[in-house]
A and B are shown apart, each in its own frame.
Chain A
Amino acid sequence: MASPSRSALFRRFFEQLGEVSELAARTFRAIFGKPREGEIFFQQLEEIGLRTLPVVALTAAFGGLVFGLQSYYGFHKYVGQGTEAYGGPIIAVGLVRELIPILVGLMVAGRVGSSMAAEIGTMRITEQIDALFTLGADSVRYLVAPRTAASILMLPCLTLFGDFIGIVCAHFYNVALMGVNGTVYLRNTLMYLDLWDVLSGLVKAAVFGALIAIIGCWQGLETEGGAEGVGRATTRAVVFASIAILITNFFMSKFLPANL
């Protein structure tokens, strides 16, 4: 089979960008409009928030430990013995501004974005989306808006939780395992870690939340074929959301102010 030409691929890319942008616009209109699907919103809060807590705790814990480890060795090797406690604020800022929002975003994309694509994709191929229309429910208002709103709200909560776990684990590694001076470590961390550092990570997380939900739902709504189509939509949802998170993160890191 002949592969599509470069211009066809280019056109397809912009068509898809147009589709997802239109879906995003309709979703935000539905989130701020009425009627709202409160019951589904609360179900999704539980699905995205509560049920993702264990995986976020685990990834944040090991993210914090490995950051703590690298910081310890960096200071120990290049700055000198006894300076390891100065790594505290570097670890904390790195975690809350970059590592934890990205880890949480990728974990939620894998766990929740894929399940949104699979659930909505299955609804698409079993005509449940068509049934929604015939029964007076708009699929964007009923399916996409509550998932997106819940995702935007829960990602920052999960990130804040992850920040805490990551910082505690980095502290544990340095102070409890490597014998770094705990008082200096903590004082330095509190002195140099700004509220804006934490907030900028939470802003990123909210944007990642919107990306994960809209891309997951978009792939679900676009599903064609049978089980194979659902599988393809699920994979694409995770891949597209992960790429979108990494690209958006770079630009947000670049353009969000370093301080307020």
Chain B
Amino acid sequence: MIQFRDLHKSFGPKPVLSGLELEIRTGETLVVIGQSGSGKSVLLKLLIGILDPDRGSIVIDGTDVTSMDRETRQKTARKFGMLFQAAALFDSLSVGENVAFGLKRRTDLDPAAIGKIVADCLEKVGLRGIEDLMPHELSGGMRKRVGLARAIAYRPEIILYDEPSTGLDPIRADAINDLILLLQKEMGVTSIVITHDLVSAYKVADRMAMLYDGRIVAVGTPDEIRQSPDPVVQQFLRGRADGPIKNW
């Protein structure tokens, strides 16, 4: 279980998270929705340890990771795989080297075993045999899928998806959604998906949480969120400019 307790984070004078509280259950897919710039990606970066909170704690399976030093924190990051918004593939490395990157650093496997896992992961995301291509030769959808193959290669317990469908056409976005569901089913991982794409959110979520004004204002199943009486949630779900959300 992952617990965010009274989490605060500011960048300069601008508060992004202000006392955020959230629990994520082991094995579930939780989708965090919210406006662009509301701090959703910051939440993931705090969880994985890329950023440090100003105040509050993050407890993973009973251990407060925010009090750890950077080196221990990076070892804890072994539990996580992350799909970045624009995939964040290493430009200077081939697809195969990208997918093998975490395996080389996090396991003692020999090159042959790593090669086999890389091939398996690429096959899982529907991109068999592209190990030798370079990232600039891939389309946006392919880059995301390679990013996903890289994130799952060392079999993390928790997968973080930062805007997995952003920048993709609806068909490719749906293919990514199917992959999220497939990985959830096959690997039994805990998934946290950050998105403002409601079609994706409804498709993959076990539960949804809405982030607004630095706090979680609603949590529940997709149906509970749909029927939420909160005007902020309703304005966001209906995509209306008029309502309590003004800072757009």
**Which residues of A pack against B, CB within 8 Å?**
122-123, 126-128, 130-131, 133-138
Q: Is the CB of B90 within 8 A of A134?
A: no
Q: Could you say which residues of chain A place their CB within 8 Å of the CB of B48?
A: 133-134
Does B101 have its Cβ within 8 Å of any Cβ on chain A?
yes
A–B pairs, 17, beta carbons within 8 Å = A122-B91, A123-B91, A126-B88, A130-B50, A130-B82, A131-B82, A131-B90, A133-B48, A133-B50, A133-B74, A134-B81, A134-B82, A134-B102, A135-B101, A135-B102, A135-B105, A136-B74
What total of chain B residues lie within 8 Å of the partner, measured CB to CB?
23
Q: Is the CB of A138 within 8 A of B84?
A: no
Interchain CA distance A130-B91 in the complex, whole Å: 14
Q: Could you say which residues of chain A place their CB within 8 Å of the CB of B151?
A: 134
**Which residues of B pack against A, CB within 8 Å?**
45, 48-50, 74, 77-78, 80-82, 84-86, 88-91, 101-102, 105-106, 150-151
Q: Could you say which residues of chain B place their CB within 8 Å of the CB of A138?
A: 74
Name the one of B84, B85, B86, B105 contacting A137, with C-beta atoms under 8 angstroms: B105
Smallest CB separation, B61 vs chain A (Å): 18
Instruction: Identify 10 new A-B residue pairs, CB closer than 8 A, beyond the known A131-B82, A133-B74.
Output: A126-B86, A128-B89, A130-B45, A130-B50, A131-B90, A134-B50, A134-B82, A135-B106, A136-B74, A138-B74
A-B contact count, CB below 8 Å?
A: 50
Minimum CB distance partner of B51 in chain A: A130
Q: Is the CB of B49 within 8 A of A136?
A: no
Q: Could you say which residues of chain A place their CB within 8 Å of the CB of B85?
A: 127
Q: Is the CB of A136 within 8 A of B91?
A: no
Given A127-B84, A130-B50, CB of A136 within 8 Å of CB of B78? yes
Q: Could you say which residues of chain B place their CB within 8 Å of the CB of A127?
A: 84-86, 88
Q: Is the CB of B105 within 8 A of A134?
A: no
Interchain CA distance A131-B102 in the complex, whole Å: 10
Interchain CA distance A82-B188 in the complex, whole Å: 89
Interchain CA distance A67-B12 in the complex, whole Å: 52
Q: Could you say which residues of chain A place their CB within 8 Å of the CB of B150?
A: 135
Smallest CB separation, A19 vs chain B (Å): 16
Minimum CB distance partner of B73 in chain A: A133
Q: Which 7 residue pairs of A and B lie closest in terms of their CB atoms, listed nearest first?
A: A136-B105, A135-B102, A127-B88, A131-B88, A134-B82, A127-B84, A136-B106
Q: Could you say which residues of chain B place their CB within 8 Å of the CB of A130?
A: 45, 50, 82, 84, 88
Query: By CB atoms of chain A within 10 A, which of B50, B88, B89, B91 has the most?
Result: B88
Interchain CA distance A115-B20 in the complex, whole Å: 40
Interchain CA distance A128-B91 in the complex, whole Å: 9
Interchain CA distance A130-B49 in the complex, whole Å: 10
Q: Is the CB of A136 within 8 A of B86?
A: no
Smallest CB separation, B46 vs chain A (Å): 12
Smallest CB separation, B12 vs chain A (Å): 11
Minimum CB distance partner of B156 in chain A: A134
Interchain CA distance A134-B77 in the complex, whole Å: 6
Minimum CB distance partner of A130 in chain B: B50
Smallest CB separation, B80 vs chain A (Å): 6
Interchain CA distance A134-B83 in the complex, whole Å: 10
Minimum CB distance partner of B48 in chain A: A134
Q: Could you say which residues of chain B place their CB within 8 Å of the CB of A137?
A: 101, 105
Interchain CA distance A138-B49 in the complex, whole Å: 12
Interchain CA distance A137-B77 in the complex, whole Å: 11
Interchain CA distance A136-B150 in the complex, whole Å: 12
Interchain CA distance A128-B89 in the complex, whole Å: 7
Minimum CB distance partner of A128 in chain B: B88
Q: Could you say which residues of chain A place their CB within 8 Å of the CB of B105?
A: 135-137
Interchain CA distance A123-B89 in the complex, whole Å: 9
Q: Could you say which residues of chain B place their CB within 8 Å of the CB of A131?
A: 82, 84, 88-90
Q: Could you say which residues of chain B place their CB within 8 Å of the CB of A122?
A: 91
Query: By CB atoms of chain A within 10 A, which of B45, B78, B85, B90 has the most?
Result: B90
Q: Could you say which residues of chain B place their CB within 8 Å of the CB of A128?
A: 88-91
Interchain CA distance A138-B75 in the complex, whole Å: 11
Smallest CB separation, B88 vs chain A (Å): 4
Minimum CB distance partner of A138 in chain B: B74
Given A127-B86, A128-B88, CB of A134 within 8 Å of CB of B80? yes
Smallest CB separation, B217 vs chain A (Å): 27
Smallest CB separation, A45 vs chain B (Å): 16
Smallest CB separation, A136 vs chain B (Å): 4
Q: Could you say which residues of chain B place their CB within 8 Å of the CB of A136?
A: 74, 77-78, 102, 105-106
Smallest CB separation, B191 vs chain A (Å): 15
Interchain CA distance A135-B82 in the complex, whole Å: 9
Q: Could you say which residues of chain B place their CB within 8 Å of the CB of A134?
A: 48, 50, 77, 80-82, 102, 151
